[in-house]
Amino acid sequence: MFTISHLDKLIKSSQTPIHLVKSIDDNNRKCFFFVMASKLKIRAMQSIKNGMVNLSEYGVIVASGFGHEVPVETKLMLMEKYGFDADSLK
């Protein structure tokens, strides 16, 4: 398993892409996740129809929250901590 500092370095390096995943949780709430995972893993996850998916089985969740619009605070945290522009995934 990664240590936090190693994970931060990996995210900053952009060696593994970050994907924005929007979904609805089991309480019918809209939610979003920024997941660091290979494109192959994301495609495999997206191929699952009508089922619950544990995103941590497909990649590392970098940030998450409720609603389908990412709050400014989350965007700022991603930019400050990782140099990642969340708006680039729209």
pLDDT digits (tens, 9 = 90+) for 41-81: 888 887 876 677 888 888 889 999 999 899 999 999 998 88
pLDDT of residue 11: 64
**Rounded CA gap, 53 and 87, in Å?**
24
Task: Round the CA-based radius of gyration of the chain to a whole number and report it.
Answer: 13
Cβ–Cβ < 8 Å for 56, 79: no
Share of the chain above pLDDT 90, in %: 28
pLDDT of residue 14: 63
pLDDT band at 26 (very low <50, low <70, confident <90, very high): confident
pLDDT band at 84 (very low <50, low <70, confident <90, very high): confident
Report residue 32 as tokens: 């979003």
